[in-house]
């Protein structure tokens, strides 16, 4: 049985997914880095973190996203970056589900432009990103034999 990573065509698809995911993470990071205060408010609105950790989280997370995005785009440590992307998307989905369960009317804090509120549309979008990250991790080009 053929598996995803065993043909050059699919290798290109994996590369494309890696680049798309990299761009998504870069865009998310840049918006948050530009306005850390607003991002901290978005984080606080989820009411998941203790007050003492919110700002620290808001300071560090966008830079983690930036590094993940850059690594996915340039291929350096791309499997590790993909693994982080999986973990981050899983956390984002969990946070969004938690907000929906608590009926919180909050912005998702995902991107500065085209900000959306937390809802099922956001969950679906994050699931797509999660699937892309899993594919990137499992079939990363960085593991291709020279």
Supply the Cα-derived Rg of the chain in whole angstroms.
16
- CA separation for the pair 70, 50 (Å, rounded): 30
What does DSSP assign to residue 49? S
Residue 94 CB, nearest approach to another protein (Å): 18
Candidates 24, 58, 99, 122; binder of another protein (CB under 8 A) is 58
Does 15 bind another protein (CB under 8 A)? Our answer is no
Q: What angle do CA 59, 65, 69 make, to 5 degrees?
A: 150
The answer to whether the CB of 133 falls within 8 A of the CB of 20 is: no
Residue 40 CB, nearest approach to another protein (Å): 6
Residues that bind another protein (CB under 8 A): 5-8, 11, 33, 35-37, 40-41, 44-45, 47, 51-52, 54-56, 58-60, 62-64, 66-68, 71, 77, 79-81, 83-84, 87, 103, 105-107, 115, 117, 137-140, 143-145
């Amino acid at each position: 049985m053929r598996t995803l990573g065993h043909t050059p065509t699919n290798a290109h698809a994996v590369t494309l997914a890696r680049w798309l995911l990299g761009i998504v993470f870069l865009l998310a990071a840049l918006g948050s880095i530009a306005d850390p205060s607003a991002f901290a408010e978005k984080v606080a609105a989820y009411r998941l973190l203790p007050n003492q950790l919110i700002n620290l989280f808001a300071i560090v997370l966008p830079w983690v996203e930036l590094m993940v995005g850059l690594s996915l785009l340039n291929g350096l440590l791309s499997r590790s970056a993909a693994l982080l992307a999986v973990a981050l998307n899983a956390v984002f989905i969990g946070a969004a589900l938690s907000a929906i369960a608590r009926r919180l009317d909050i912005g998702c804090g995902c991107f500065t432009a085209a900000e959306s509120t937390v809802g099922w549309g956001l969950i679906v979008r994050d699931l797509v990103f999660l699937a892309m990250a899993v594919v990137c991790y499992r079939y990363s080009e960085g593991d291709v034999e020279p």
